[in-house]
Amino acid sequence: MRLTGAVARFVRANSGLREPLREVLTHVGRHRPGPRNDILIISARRSGSTWLMELLATQPRMRYVDEPCKPFYYRRHGLRTGLEGSLPVLDSKLVAVADSDAEHYRNYFADPRATRIHGPYDPTRPTFHFTTDRRVLKIVNATALAEWLDDQRLGFDMVYLLRHPVPTVISMAASVMLRAEANLRHEGFVTRYLTGEQVRLGWDLLRGGSVLQRFALDWCLDSIVPFRAVTDGGRDWTVLTYEELSLSPRPTVALLTRRLGLAEPDRMLKQMQVPSQSTAQGRLESIATEDARQRVSRWRDKVDPHDVRAIHEVVDHFGIDAYGPDSAIARPRWLHFAQTAGGS
């Protein structure tokens, strides 16, 4: 098992091996849409979405689709962003769908053949199934499309995953590209979702803010659409926090089982003991020894209080109030189970 894990991580770290292997194996598998809705996870980057996707993908006949909206993929499939000529493709992301492009987008997300290349590539893992009839898609690079995708009635059960902004922003700053400029440059996104004050603040932070402030801005711009959808838009989505999934695994898995019509929740509980493939190698030993509450609150002992305040000041300007600076877990209205708050 150790050898398998080491090999899998080596393959994952080498795109020259990973992508050809993924393309071969995802085309070997047989997928035929079944009677149940596909599942669509919406989440900001570095929020635990890979982990949740892999948990759901343990279910029989479930195929995961790992981020079909990366710049390479939407460029490859001809999905226009409305930012062509304004930003390099790697600095861009999908933040709106023009009416003229709507049918192309619908076909892309609805057709399993268009997204199959983004599936699993390791037959030794419990997330790999050669015969599938349901998909779980994870979207972190096109969260602004969340409402649009729901409105298209493409047969998705929507899941919105949140995580505390402070550890998320710190992780983003260390591991992903800043793409906030894409939101601020897109007239359609700005007009629909931002006030003039928020736009001015955004440009000020991009020009003169600290690294953490700029990534806090990116987190806000990625979160604002799904957050408003579930708070103001009356959307009947399943809303989870990373912290509750960690701290209350059994009741949370039971909730997902009811909401999403899952067949074998015990497979998810077993998989929860296994780090996701996006977990850094250096974290594996500590994950094996620390308990869940240490895991979700570790950042509080490592982050300067000044940085916590700086991140929350940005978050407050965008009205995303699911978390406060003094607790590692979400505010009570975002929790499903009383046990989650114990000892926080």
- Two structure tokens written together for 325: 């600076």
Ramachandran area for residue 131 (φ above 0: left; ψ -120 to 50: alpha; else beta): beta
- Counting beta carbons within 10 angstroms of the beta carbon of residue 3, is it exposed (0 to 12), middle (13 to 18) or buried (19 or more)? exposed
| Mean per-residue pLDDT over the chain, rounded | 91
CA-to-CA dists, residue 19 to 111, 117, 137, 164, angstroms = 20, 8, 18, 32
Tell me the per-residue pLDDT of 198-210, one tens digit each, with 9 for 90 and over. Answer: 999 999 999 999 9
Tell me the per-residue pLDDT of 8-36, one tens digit each, with 9 for 90 and over. Answer: 677 777 777 877 887 777 777 889 999 99
Tell me the per-residue pLDDT of 287-298, one tens digit each, with 9 for 90 and over. Answer: 544 588 888 999
d(CA 103, CA 98) in angstroms, rounded, equals 10
Least confident of 65-74, 117-126, 185-194, 248-257: 117-126
Confidence bin at 283 (pLDDT 50/70/90):
low
Ramachandran area for residue 234 (φ above 0: left; ψ -120 to 50: alpha; else beta): left
Tell me the per-residue pLDDT of 143-161, one tens digit each, with 9 for 90 and over. Answer: 999 999 999 999 999 999 9
Least confident of 162-176, 258-272, 276-290, 292-306: 276-290
- Total number of domains constituting the chain: 1
The amino acid occupying position 181 is E
- In this model, does residue 127 exceed pLDDT 90? yes
The amino acid occupying position 267 is R
In terms of residue numbers, what domain contains 171? 2-341
Q: Give phi and psi for 204, each to the nearest 5.
A: -60, -40
- Two structure tokens written together for 227: 């957050």
Average pLDDT over residues 105-114: 93
Task: Please tell me the predicted confidence (pLDDT) of residue 197.
Answer: 98
CATH number of the domain bearing residue 108: 3.40.50.300
- In this model, does residue 244 exceed pLDDT 50? yes
Task: Please tell me the predicted confidence (pLDDT) of residue 279.
Answer: 61
Confidence bin at 281 (pLDDT 50/70/90):
low
